[in-house]
Chain A
Amino acid sequence: MALKQVQTTCAYCGAGCQIMFTVDTDANKIVEAVPADGRTNAGTLCLKGHYGWDYLNDPQILTKRLRKPMIRKGGKKSPLVEVSWEEAISYVAKRLGEIKEKFGPDSIMGTGSARGAGNEANYLMQKFMRACIGTNNVDHCARI
């Protein structure tokens, strides 16, 4: 069992707690999470920090982890069909392109994410909406 230690920021809430994880790199599994001495948390964690990483194990409790791109090929309400990334990307690009062409850039809305995705992905999302689509229609759930 090869173990490594990684410090990271907690995935939950705005407190920005630092957690030290022990990871079994052979099994690709988290072994333990202990509070690290971060600026805001100073060696403490709440229940989400201590035990909230379990979803990475995909325990099949509530919802299924998404692992393959999927398209509803028969339109709304038809079943989702697994496709390759190439197909998914070109399909999205084609449909968004058509809608932009037909109804204009302001007919497309995009969201940022206040959750796991991180700042870089949010930056790219708004850049995509603004520079590629050509609209300021981008927002996220800060209001919600």
Chain B
Amino acid sequence: MGIPEIEDAGCLLCFGYNGADSHPIVARRIVRGKQKGMKIICADPRVTETARISDIHLQLKGGSNLALVNAMANVIWNEGLADKKFIDEHTKGFDEFLKVIEKYTPEYAEPITHIPAETIRRAARVYATTKPAMILYGMGVCQFTQAVDVVKGLANLALMTGNFGGPSMGIGPVRGQNNVQGACDMGALPNSYPGYQNVTVPEIREKFEKAWGVPLSDQVGCPITHVPHRILHEKEEKKRIHAYYIFGEDPAQSDPDLAEVREALDKCDFVVMQDIYMNKTGLYADVILPATAWGENEGIYTCADRGFQRVRKLIEPEGDMRPDWQIIADISTAMGYPMNYKNTEEIWNEMIDLCPSFTGATYEKIEKYGGVQWPCRDKSMEDKGTPYLHKDGIFATKDHKALFYGTDWHPPVELENDQYPMTLSTVREVGHYSVRTMTGNCRTLRNLEDEPGWVQMNTEDCEKMNLKKGELVKILSKRGYCITRCLPTDRVKPGATYMTYQWWIGACNELTTAKLDPISNTPEYKYCACRVEKIEDQQWAERHVMELYDDIRAQMGIDTGKGAKA
């Protein structure tokens, strides 16, 4: 499925995905779909823009995703709405799955999800009976310790209703950053080579050993979220990390439990940072390598629906920067493994020949057609790529059958308690991107939203604490605290708070927990316990925020003589 098809779905189940803030151009398709009569079911604890225009808003309690998904599956089966023919012909493991979902009646799920049983029934019926039905999910699914289970749970819904392999159906993760899909495609993953080829499969390893001319490790590598632990607490000497080559990332801002990340970067023997702007990680780097930015170099990105598209040079870099690929090639050459490429196309050609799913996606085709959705296996101009991954219900498994996979719900790791009675979930700010070294340096985007950001709280909670819009508040968790502005809104439930993660002063990752999903190793950004405190002396707080901002900007090499606007 692709982004343009969203608007032609009969039903959209939008799960933990807030397109309006993370991808306005995807949200546009949802809005257009609504205009065309698409039924929208939105599962989100907040009233998001999609929830606002939805037919059914499943305003579930944070952290109850799987209970809801299993309950929907339960209704679909028990009310005879499942596509038995599709299940028989294209899937396996359905009976085992049934055993798991048996107990998840809507009545069982109601106290867990805080959604009335009847509403769950209604949603399940609409999803199962309106064709074609599409599922979009986002970080509201992925950033929990029970992430992969929910993704599989959503896939179960699509499988049991036969919503796979055609236009405007299936299940789509909407990737956050411009090239998350691309970094995965290219094998920047501890368990796979480019093109999702597993490092533990001997034949595949041999292919890459032959192509690259060296023996390769058969051990799955370290996931990025394990790094602080592997630097600070690893007992086994062989596994301890001593050098960290950070390329285009800012773990000292974006990773959970920042205090631990800072300690790790400080203790790590050798930290290399390769980036375009100074950032928090740079304060701990032993070496800084300046790279050219988007707009100053050539290349290819992969967008959320697997489309390879060209990025082109707009202006010449002003300064002594080099393209990322060139810096890496130079280091490799200096270390005795020569890499000689004239341009990005040469690298690309080497890569596609090693990846069967990408082999046909040549620069020529991407130029000519404006983009190519992989898999694209053949170099002839006739193979224009693949809009639908599991076309006609044929899946990428050995017997071409999809596997049902059922698991039980379990609650989030850190629950509300007396000391920290509220919950914190981290979300996105529409005008800012990632750690904001790019958007924060754009004049007008900075004007729209700036430090110290906002904490979204229910109006009643604010009234209880006598908090007004724009007032500075302190927000604390077991791990740390930060200062931010209060934004009373009826779009969030009482007891819940939401913060966006790109601020330095309102840095919500001071609060978040580093507990991970056991399979995807994604942190539970969407749930931790917190407490909000009123600050009596607002004048002091405003001054304090301003001073903090100036301090950090000065650290980042900005002349703050003219004073920052906080």
Contacts and interface: CB of A to CB of B under 8 A. Distances in A.
A–B contact via C-beta, under 8 angstroms: yes
Interface of A: 6-18, 21, 23, 28-30, 38-42, 44-49, 51-56, 58-72, 75-76, 80, 85, 88-93, 95-97, 99, 102-144
A111 B523 contact: no
A38 B245 CA distance: 35
B443 A47 contact: no
B286 A76 contact: yes
Contacts of B176: 13-14, 114
B230 A109 contact: yes
Contacts of B412: none
Contacts of A28: 315-316, 318
Interface string B261-284: 000001001101001111100101
A113 B370 contact: no
A53 B523 contact: no
B196 interface: no
A30 B289 CA distance: 25
Given A96-B270, A136-B221, A66 B321 contact: yes
Contact of B183 (A46, A68, A140): A140
Contact of A61 (B215, B282, B443, B525): B443
B239 A66 contact: no
B303 A109 contact: no
Contact of A54 (B174, B193, B215, B441): B441
A132 B335 CA distance: 7
B287 A92 contact: yes
Given A8-B295, A8-B314, A141-B177, 12 more contacts: A8-B312, A14-B23, A46-B25, A56-B314, A72-B285, A75-B286, A92-B272, A97-B335, A103-B240, A107-B242, A121-B323, A143-B520
B246 A111 contact: yes
Nearest to B182: A119
B366 to A, nearest CB: 10
- Main secondary structure on A side of the interface with B: mixed
B303 A9 contact: yes
A139 to B, nearest CB: 4
13 contacts: A13-B178, A28-B315, A56-B296, A72-B285, A72-B287, A92-B331, A110-B247, A112-B186, A118-B324, A124-B325, A126-B189, A134-B217, A136-B190
B557 A112 contact: no
A112 B176 CA distance: 15
A15 B23 contact: yes
A82 B321 CA distance: 13
A55 B438 contact: yes
Q: Which of B3, B182, B241, B297 has the most CB of A within 10 A?
A: B182
Given A62-B556, A107-B241, A120-B351, A16 B303 contact: yes
Contacts of B436: 62
B466 to A, nearest CB: 33
A143 B313 CA distance: 29
A118 B288 contact: no
Q: Which of B311, B316, B330, B442 has the most CB of A within 10 A?
A: B442
B244 interface: yes
B440 A61 contact: yes
Contact of B286 (A17, A72, A115): A72
A51 B441 CA distance: 11
Interface residues of B, number: 156
A117 to B, nearest CB: 4
Contact of A69 (B288, B336, B347): B288
A104 B214 CA distance: 16
Interface stretch (B83-91, B398-406, B444-452): B444-452
B337 A69 contact: no
B452 to A, nearest CB: 13
B116 interface: no
A40 B307 contact: yes
B242 A122 contact: no
B178 A64 contact: no
B434 to A, nearest CB: 6
B542 interface: no
A89 B330 CA distance: 7
A133 B222 CA distance: 14
Given A52-B433, A113-B324, A118-B324, A63 B23 contact: no
Contacts of B521: 143
B394 interface: no
A141 to B, nearest CB: 5
Contacts of A55: 277, 293, 437-439, 441-442
Contacts of B439: 12, 48, 52, 55
B322 interface: yes
Contact of B193 (A23, A76, A89, A126): A126
B480 interface: no
Given A48-B445, A114-B177, A65 B277 contact: yes
A118 B311 contact: yes
Contacts of B3: 15-16, 39-40
Contacts of A30: 295, 314-315
Contacts of B350: 123
Contacts of B248: 111-117
B325 A120 contact: yes
A133 to B, nearest CB: 8
A16 to B, nearest CB: 3
B118 to A, nearest CB: 36
**Which 5 interchain pairs have the tightest Cβ spacing?**
A112-B188, A16-B303, A113-B248, A118-B299, A67-B319
B37 interface: no
Given A9-B301, A116-B276, A106 B522 contact: no
Nearest to A39: B371
Contact of B351 (A108, A123, A144): A123
A65 B437 CA distance: 9
A23 B67 CA distance: 53
Contacts of A23: 314-315
